[in-house]
Amino acid sequence: MRPDTSPAARALLTLELVQGSPGITADQLGSKLGVSERAARRYIGILREAGIPVESARGPYGGFRVGRGLRLPPLMFSAAEALGLVMAVLDGHHDASDPTDLVGGALGKIVRALPEPVAAQAEAVRRTTAPAPDRAAARPDPAMTTALVQACAHHRRVRLGYRSEAGSEWVLEADPWAVVVRHGRWYALCWSHAAQARRVYRIDRVREVQVLDDTFTAPADLDPVAILEENLAIGWEFDVELVIDAPVGTVGRCVPRALGRLEPLDNDRSRLTGSTSNPAWYAQQLAGIPAPYRIVRCAELQAAARALGRRLLEAAGPSAADGPRAQ
């Protein structure tokens, strides 16, 4: 696509550069636009004639910047930017081509605001691509999510109405430290005042958010993703402990954090401790560990592992040593 070099297009690009780099000089503008310093000043003049308050200051810290009260022009995307945006939305939201969907409707407005040649390419990708839905995704209510994000940003305690997977409902007060998105699910990492401990809540299960006047200070060394994954492995019905016949450095990348805490037992062995409410699922995850291991705690997981082992042996069929099966 041939770039638009009209004065209007250059003026819009000048505005974008001034907005993105407050204090940019005429010489720098000219270099980025590929024109002389005099021409760059002329584009600044075009913007001012259009009523855009571009201010200038002399001296080593001077240059051009946009003044207050500016009404931004329509968004300007290149074809690559527009296609990248559509692809990113489709990757994370399979209903993006549905105009009645919240995200699909918003994306449609953006596409309609684009220049026709750019919009045509973006719309073609949006309409003809068939993204497979993420069955594990659970998108929360935007209003609940916004309220929690704002409470995090302003360090305000919240009162949450919450419903568990089993359908139990309760009200709790918590300090929302962070909001984390993991594998299509949104979580609020909080400090629970009732439990006096860290807790993780699925935002799609939050029924009500009330922001309170109390404030809090989150831990300075907070790593929300790491803490979330560790908390996803604790507090379930069955406690688990395994001994793996390999050092942490060998198996660490093969053991998801959601299974529990992996730590060295000695130079040649590791210990995995966690919990689960679904021993069958947990046994399936353990099958991917590329080293011998023993389940030393959790009778339910041991039973699930035996059942999984029998299924795998039956699927493999008889070995040559077993001889032919009886007819």
Over residues 217-246, the pLDDT tens digits come to 999 988 998 888 877 777 778 999 999 999
Q: In this model, does residue 172 exceed pLDDT 90?
A: yes
Residues 217 and 279 reside in one and the same domain: no
Q: What is the spatial distance between Cα 309 and Cα 122, in angstroms, rounded to a whole number?
A: 49
Give the whole-angstrom CA distance, residue 6 versus residue 54: 20
Q: Which of 192, 222, 252 is the last residue of a domain?
A: 222
Supply the range of the domain harboring residue 93: 79-128
Count the helices and strands in the chain (H runs, E runs): 11, 11
- Tally the domains of the chain: 4
Among candidate residues 139, 137, 122, the one with its CA nearest the CA of residue 88: 122
Same domain for 285 and 264: yes
The predicted structure's pLDDT at residue 297: 93
Please tell me the total number of residues recorded for the chain in this structure: 327
Sign of the CA dihedral with 58 first, then 63, 68, and 69 last: positive
Mean pLDDT, rounded, of the chain: 84
Q: Are residues 218 and 248 in the same domain?
A: no
Tell me the average pLDDT across 162-181: 90
Residue ranges with strand state E in the chain: 54-57, 63-66, 156-163, 169-182, 185-192, 197-202, 206-215, 238-244, 261-264, 270-276, 293-297
CATH of the domain at 20: 1.10.10.10
Look at residue 240 in the predicted model and tell me its pLDDT. 94
pLDDT confidence of 60, banded at 50, 70, 90?
low
Q: Model's pTM, two decimal places?
A: 0.57
The answer to whether residue 104 sits within a structural domain is: yes
> Tell me: the pLDDT tens digits for 107-160?
887 787 777 777 788 888 877 777 777 776 777 888 899 899 999 999 999 999
Residues 274 and 217 in one domain: no
Burial class of residue 189 (count of CB atoms within 10 Å of its CB; 0-12, 13-18, 19+): buried
- Mean predicted confidence (pLDDT) in 303-326: 81
| Residue spans of alpha helices (H) in 163-259 | 224-231, 248-251
Question: Same domain, yes or no, for 281 and 311?
Answer: yes
> For residue 11, how far is the Cα from the chain centroid?
36
Answer whether residue 228 is part of any domain: no
Domain CATH for 210: 2.30.30.520
Half-sphere exposure for 196 (CA within 13 Å, toward CB): 0
CATH (domain of 265): 3.30.70
Is 213 within the bounds of a domain?
yes
> Which pLDDT band, with edges at 50, 70 and 90, does 3 fall under?
very low
167 shares a domain with 215 = yes
Q: Which residues 6+ apart lie within 8 Å of 104 measured at CB?
A: 93, 95, 96, 97, 98
